[in-house]
A and B are shown apart, each in its own frame.
Chain A
């Protein structure tokens, strides 16, 4: 199936497909998402305009929390509203302000361009699941009430003015003139659209 560009039709198509494959296990115990790095997680959380939760600690504690946080992540008030990352190392700490030392569950407001973040709350790794859920719900309420919705065109223009640059795994750009080479700006001619395969 190839989804169209209409959001409503895409959602309808996805729901049709999803209905064909009902879960054979409890969806309230679904695996919790993860990222490859806090850097990536911050960027995605910023783009999606969601609060980021970073679970930071030693490997054995992280492994345990991957299971114990399943019910929290699947909670009706939580699912789809946050991004969650499990992180063992401490290299990311310098990108987040307001962070206290030590292993913890860190609730983070992502920066405008996802290059940094600010701590909204910080909980111990052994916090009760009900306390974690309550903290996340409160953070989402605060975030939604104090965050302007992004208009992405203006966001990109502002980022270019500020010199924002995110080095990703694949360089940005496109083959605008069809010469087989990636063009990165500066090409003023019309884009050569090629038939979809």
Chain B
């Protein structure tokens, strides 16, 4: 996982609410918990296109683009 954190450039787009609980996705009642405990290291996302593109160019790596939303049924603070 450490390798993943440092070697992968990622962009996370947060505004696509349609995807949060969208087509083919889980229902709100299906959502579980994160695999990580609070404070544990996860993926070091880039959360603007500009910073991700800059880092991809700097380090010569491709971008893994992920669209996500931090809301479900309008309720915030959820992936």
Contact = CB atoms under 8 A, between A and B. Distances in A.
B55 A11 contact: no
A43 B75 contact: no
Given A21-B61, A23-B61, A32-B51, A194 B23 contact: yes
Contact of B32 (A110, A151, A174, A185): A151
B41 A81 contact: yes
Interface string B28-48: 111111111111111111111
A164 B76 contact: yes
Interface residues of B, number: 62
Q: Chain A interface residue count: which class?
A: 35 or more
Contacts of A168: 14-15, 17, 69, 71
A157 to B, nearest CB: 7
A15 B48 contact: no
Interface in B39-73: 39-48, 50-51, 54-55, 58-62, 64, 69-73
A155 interface: yes
Interface stretch (A56-64, A99-107, A121-129, A138-146): A138-146
Contacts of B21: 172, 174
